[in-house]
Amino acid sequence: MIGGALALAAGAALFAIAVGAVLPVRQRVVWVGLFTALCAGAGGVAAAAVLAGGNTFTADFPDLFPLGGVRIEFDALSAIFVLATAVVAVPAAIYGIGYSARGPSSRPAQVAWPLLVWGVMMVPAAGNVTGLIAFWELMALSSFVLVLAEHHHNPEARTAAQWYASMTHLSLLTIVLALAVLAHQAGGDSFTAIRAGTDHIGPTTATVVFLLSLVGFGAKAGVAPLHVWLPRAHPEAPSHVSALMSGAMVALGVYGLIRVGWDLLGGGPTWWGATVLAVGLVSAMFGILHALISSDLKRLLAYSTTENMGLVFIGVGAAGMFASSGNQPLASVALAASMLLVVNHAAFKGLLFLGAGSILSATGTRDLDRLGGLARRMPVTAATFAVGSLAIAALPPLNGFVSEWLLLQSLVHSLPSNAAVVAVAMPVAVAVVALTGGLAAATFVKAFGTTFLALPRTVEADQAHESPRTMQIGLIALAGVCVALALAPTALAAPLQRVSLAVGGLADGRPIHTNGVYLQLSGIEAGLSPLLLATGLAVMMVAVLVVVRRGRLRRTVRDIPAWGCGRTVQTARMEYTATSFAEPLQRVFDDVLHPEIDIDVDHRTESRHYVQAIRYRMHIRDGFEHRLYLPVLSVVRRWGDGARRVQNGSIHRYLAYSLITLIVVLVVSR
Amino acid sequence: MTTTRFVQLLDLAAGLVLVTSFAVLWLRRLVTVTWVIAVQGMALAAVALVIGVYEHETELALIALMVFALRGLVLPGLILRAVRAGDEHREVESLINVPAALLAASGLTLVAYATTRDVVALSSTPQVRALPLGIAVMLIGMLLIVTRRKAVLQIMGVLMVDNGIALVMFLGTSGVPLAVELGIASDVLLAMFILQVLTARIRTKFGGTDLDQLRELRD
């Protein structure tokens, strides 16, 4: 059954690639979308079967490549990531039918899209080093093509693609190094052989492998300071691709880190977990701060991805710390929290990116300061975007709340602890997670409010229309997934237990007990019933509505114009913009963000007391990029200029090089 | 043929190959240079013939005949056609002046002698003693390619490098199998054709084959 589903996924992907390369543009978009959805759906079925049944599927293809075969090993840890991929990929593929018809319908883009979906699903399924690297590179290359898909209209996409390509290469380089060292020292290419051979690996080698894989997988996950590609590449890719990249592809960085660090290496000293935790804390704070002040909708979502991956890293790091200080039940809860967050993030971030795509294709802009009033013009997009915003702000009763609650529970209950580093790190982590939650709420109030409410700020926003049917189906499906995950996370309790059992170095307990309605954590006196919570909220809202309606019926209501302090019309120029909404918070974090602000005031010629125009320009530099990347880049550029002097285009000079080389070789080898 | 006569003839022919390569650097008119290249090919054929007669190898004599036809007649004929096709100045344009080129060529000859000292010390046959000449011709051919501006002279340079290689082959191995020489000959012929077609296309496209102007195609 599992093998059949995986074979179906591969077949569907191949077929989608073939039709993407052959068919004329109108049919191409439709068939590629349908078969990509089928591919993702089949993968999701396989993942669900593994998570429900608890058995592992393996298959060997020993002669696939000249130097090494590919092995498929599909366990619970693989399955939870494949499930997250399927959750976002199926709706994104259907959405892509409508979206591509007006956007990226070229052959390369339509061939790369099923390749990317299949690659993202097969990376966790790989069971040996060769397979992992092969699928990893398949995923990286196809997503690179897709980032470039719209470069004709959008020159920014080229810069974004350059950044993406360099960071992806850095990531691949370190991963290959780490896995090669690991496979060599453990004496085997397949994960089974490596697990068996970990006894031969010394602590120094293990540390080197762990740090290399932290850099490599961290770069893919987009955690600070390796996040620089993410706020560039995700906005430039077509929106359904951004949804998959942001929802599922970056999560594979987390997968790789857990697989190598705690499954293959079997865990390590406490500082491994502490390092991951620290990276997570920095990323979460950094990501949400930049999301808060960003006025480009997709850039905002991309920074929020850095924040969410930071939260996942906090969970994984905390799990690692608990596991090495001997508190296995708590480690299981922390791991379960991060896995649940991965699945939830796939659902709500996918939804938000698809929503941003609808806005982009309806208005032609992603600039929040040029939108507004879309709720009445695009009701389906508005409603689903609202669901996504509530979920990502971790407000009950939506799904983000459950995972954030789990994460906070695991962090809070670590105290009192006998390990000093745990006792210091956990209160800080709790504070950061809480602050992040608050800022996320502010960010998405801004994103939703300035986009959908108030008066439209431009003609384009005023003339927007709702997206085509296929795009609406994708949005509604993902919103449905968010609601389902919110109401019934109890269904994931048993699968999460299987995941924690699959990662031997981290956890062995049963993180969550459930009776179908109520979640009870193991080893902690804490419980939650999302279903009852949601029902309670709904009952209260209905009650409030009824009371208000009653009150209104009893009194007679007159409609009269309100006193407007002498103001007679309300125009869009009077509204809060995204920038002005975020301005107070930006002042609070002035010391961290260092914004560059220019204010130009033009006076009227008649009198200095009358202002004609005020121009306000604000630019916020990415601190990591400015201090860490630009110096490196300038050194590389100086090298490049040196090479230009050698390579100056004169044929005679090139010919002289070969003559001199010949003479030198003759003299030296004499 | 006595040994003394053989040594004299061999040195004369091989020396002629080197002297012609100096002459190519020295002369200014393209047509004359082409004739000199033809003479070089014939001298090369003479080297092969002398060795063939002295060692009673019919195969080598046959090869000599082929070298004469190809490098003495056909290839220079092709180059001559290329020279006549171009209505540019029929004069050599060089990046360095003639005395400097001759000085550089002398230096390269010294390098050739210095680097082959160990090989020459291995055996005392007259062929091996003349071996550095081949290396020198090869290096001078490359010097020609590097310093001349017109594409036609680059073609001649390639031919000269190949002549040098062929000279080393005849002197160093005392006769190669006919099949090998046939293969090399056809390679050279093919390279000449390709270069000539390329030159013609460069000329029709850009109105000249000055390599320095081709530099502007970059960027």
Task: Report ipTM for this prediction.
Answer: 0.82
- A356 touches A315 (CB < 8 A): no
pLDDT at A505: 64
Query: What residue spans define the domains of chain B?
Result: 3-217
Mean pLDDT of chain B: 84
DSSP alpha helices (H): ranges in A523-577? 530-554
For A637-650, write each residue's pLDDT tens digit: 999 888 888 877 77
Please report which confidence band the pLDDT of residue A229 belongs to, taking 50, 70 and 90 as the band edges.
Answer: very high
pLDDT at B60: 84
A667 touches chain B (CB under 8 A): yes
**What is the pLDDT, as a whole number, of residue A416?**
67
Tell me which chain A residue has its CA closest to the CA of residue B135: A666
Interface contact B121, partner A, CB < 8 A: no
Q: What integer is the mean pLDDT of A263-278?
A: 89
Q: Which residue has the higher pLDDT, A380 or B180?
A: A380
The domain segmentation of chain A, as residue ranges, is 1-253, 269-551, 623-668
Which residue from B95, B115, B146 is facing A670, i.e. has the nearest CB?
B115
Q: Are A486 and A391 in contact (CB under 8 A)?
A: yes
Place A305 in a pLDDT band, splitting at 50, 70 and 90: very high
Q: Is residue A280 predicted with pLDDT exceeding 90? A: yes
Query: pLDDT tens digit string along A57-100?
Result: 888 888 877 777 899 999 899 999 999 999 999 999 999 999 98
What confidence score (pLDDT) does residue A353 get?
95
What H or E segment, with its residue span, contains residue A253?
helix A251-257
- Asked if B197 is an interface residue toward chain A (Cβ–Cβ < 8 A), one would say no
In a mutagenesis test of the A interface, which of B139, B142, B161, B211 is the best target, namely the one with the most A β-carbons within 10 Å? B142
DSSP line for A30-90: HHHHHHHHHHHHHHHHHHHHHHHH---EEEEETTSSSS--EEEEE-HHHHHHHHHHHHHHH
Spatial contact of A350 and A240, defined as CB atoms under 8 Å apart: no
Could you tell me how many CB contacts below 8 A there are between chain A and chain B? Answer: 38
pLDDT, position B184: 79
The per-residue pLDDT for B212 is 67
* Helices and strands (H and E) in chain A: how many: 27, 7
Q: Which residue bears the tokens 């630019």?
A: A619
Non-local (6+) Cβ contacts of A648 within 8 A are none
Long-range contacts of the stretch B60-69 (C-beta < 8 A, 24+): B60/B175, B62/B178, B63/B175, B63/B176, B63/B178, B63/B181, B66/B181, B66/B182, B66/B185, B67/B41, B67/B166, B67/B181, B67/B185, B68/B41, B68/B42
Confidence band, pLDDT 50/70/90 cuts, at residue A516: low
Which residues in B lie closer than 8 A to residue A663 (C-beta atoms)? 108, 111, 139
pLDDT reported for residue B219? 52
Is the pLDDT assigned to residue A452 strictly greater than 70?
yes
Amino acid identity, residue A252? L
Contact B111 A666 (CB under 8 A): yes
Residue A514 or residue A580, greater confidence: A580
Q: Which of B146, B212, B218 shows the shortest C-beta gap to A659?
A: B146
pLDDT tier, A498 (very low <50, low <70, confident <90, very high otherwise): confident
Q: Which of A659, A662, A664 to mutate to test the interface with B (most CBs of B within 10 A)?
A: A659
Is A659 close to B143, i.e. CB distance below 8 A? yes
Lookup: tokens for A434: 């809480």
Question: To the nearest whole number, what is the mean pLDDT of chain A?
Answer: 88
* 8 Å CB contact of B147 and A651: no
Is pLDDT of B26 > 70?
A: yes
- pLDDT value, residue A608: 79
Q: Of the ranges A187-191, A281-285, B152-156, B196-200, which is most confident?
A: A281-285
* Most trustworthy range by pLDDT among A214-223, A569-578, B71-80: A214-223
Mutate to test the interface with A, among B115, B209, B219 (most CBs of A within 10 A): B115
Residue A545 has pLDDT above 80, yes or no: yes
Q: What's the average model confidence in pLDDT over B174-194? A: 76
Contacts of A659 in chain B (CB under 8 A): 139, 142-143, 145-146
Q: Is A663 part of the contact surface with chain B (CB cutoff 8 Å)?
A: yes
CB nearest to B111's CB, from A655, A656, A663: A663
Candidates B114, B211, B219; nearest CB to A651 = B211
For residue A244, is pLDDT > 90?
yes
Mean pLDDT, residues B182-199 taken together: 79
Condensed to tens digits (0 to 9), the pLDDT of residues A112-164 reads 999 999 999 999 999 999 999 999 999 999 999 999 988 888 888 899 999 99
Residues of B in contact with A666 (CB under 8 A): 111, 115, 135
Mean pLDDT of B88-109: 83
